[in-house]
Amino acid sequence: MDAINYDIELKRAGANSTHGWRKLTFLAQRHMLGAVGLVIMLIFVLTAVSADFISRFDPLSVDSTHRLAAPDARHWMGTDSFGRDVWSRIIHGARISLAVGIGSTALGSSIGVIIGLASGYLSGWVDLVFQRLIDILQALPLLVLALVMTAALGPSLPNVIIAIAIPLIPIVARVIRANTLALRELPFVEAAKSIGMSEMRIALRHVLPNTLAPLIVLATAQLGSAILTEASLSFLGLGIPEPYPSWGRMLSESAAEYVRVAPWLVIFPGVAISLAVFGTNLFGDALRDILDPRQRG
């Protein structure tokens, strides 16, 4: 009997895995652009993880004898004005861009969820105070507020993450608050109150999980904005400091002076930034269509 039951369980597991694979294939075919965006994101993640193994040179090493060398078999993307290999700096720059994008999005989303959940569920004076703070943060555009925060904190990786996370807080808080206001009036919340469940437990166990779908979509969309903001800050000299490789700083060092004599110094970092933002936006749009019931056919 045990052998028969084991065979039945194996068949069920195989059927479930086949069904899951078919569903995944169907979603990829239906949201082709989203699948392309996911592939682009995975490529950048794998590149960042394996940067030490696929880089041909140390991204910080200077070689004055090969300054501004054009792309060839030795230097696949050429070298910069200090003789540093552009390919190695591009793939190591992916680590910084992803670290800033994921770190700032996670930090801003976490704080935004706390504020939005408390504001929407508790209402009253708590909602009034939080919403006035959100209005103050939303008075300035994301890049301008990030510039102010970076100038005040100083250029470093943790400070850049904090500077980009703060402007993301009001965006997430508004979305979570709107969903919480709608969820708190539903019957399952009233049922939880009727059995004596505490307000904190209702908010965390029943209301918060139902806001995760729009939060995932919003966080994915904001990831591209965070990467682009980090590149803009580095381009202006307020992002990741030298000598660490950053796509935005690579552009700022070469865009004005070497754009004609060494165009590869502008093309390759620009393409990397564009692909990263393009991939996250495509995947975020597809994720919105998948998780939003109103978008389903």
Query: Quick one: pLDDT at residue 146?
Result: 78
pLDDT digits (tens, 9 = 90+) for 92-135: 888 888 888 889 889 988 998 888 888 888 877 887 888 888 88
Q: Within this chain, do residues 51 and 82 fall inside the same structural domain, yes or no?
A: yes
Using the predicted structure, report yes or no on whether residue 15 has a pLDDT greater than 60. Answer: no
CB-CB neighbours of 278 under 10 Å: 15
Q: Within this chain, do residues 15 and 42 fall inside the same structural domain, yes or no?
A: no
Using the predicted structure, report yes or no on whether residue 268 has a pLDDT greater than 50. Answer: yes
Q: Which domain holds residue 12?
A: 1-30
Q: Within this chain, do residues 40 and 22 fall inside the same structural domain, yes or no?
A: no
Q: Within this chain, do residues 202 and 281 fall inside the same structural domain, yes or no?
A: yes
Q: Within this chain, do residues 106 and 178 fall inside the same structural domain, yes or no?
A: yes
Distance, CA of 259 to CA of 250 (rounded, Å):
12
12 pLDDT band (50/70/90 cuts)?
low
Residue type, 37: G
Determine the average pLDDT of the residues in 202-221.
Answer: 79
| pTM for the model | 0.78
Determine the average pLDDT of the residues in 36-53.
Answer: 88
Q: Within this chain, do residues 64 and 130 fall inside the same structural domain, yes or no?
A: yes
pLDDT digits (tens, 9 = 90+) for 57-103: 888 888 878 888 888 888 888 888 888 888 888 898 888 888 888 89
Query: Quick one: pLDDT at residue 2?
Result: 44
| DSSP per position, 11-65 | HHHHHHHHHHHHHHHHHHHHTHHHHHHHHHHHHHHHHHHTHHHH-SS-TT---GG
Q: Within this chain, do residues 7 and 80 fall inside the same structural domain, yes or no?
A: no
Is residue 78 a contact partner of residue 265, using CB atoms and an 8 Å limit? yes
Q: Within this chain, do residues 81 and 10 fall inside the same structural domain, yes or no?
A: no
Query: Quick one: pLDDT at residue 24?
Result: 60
Query: Quick one: pLDDT at residue 3?
Result: 45
Query: Quick one: pLDDT at residue 8?
Result: 47
Query: Quick one: pLDDT at residue 6?
Result: 40
Using the predicted structure, report yes or no on whether residue 269 has a pLDDT greater than 80. Answer: yes
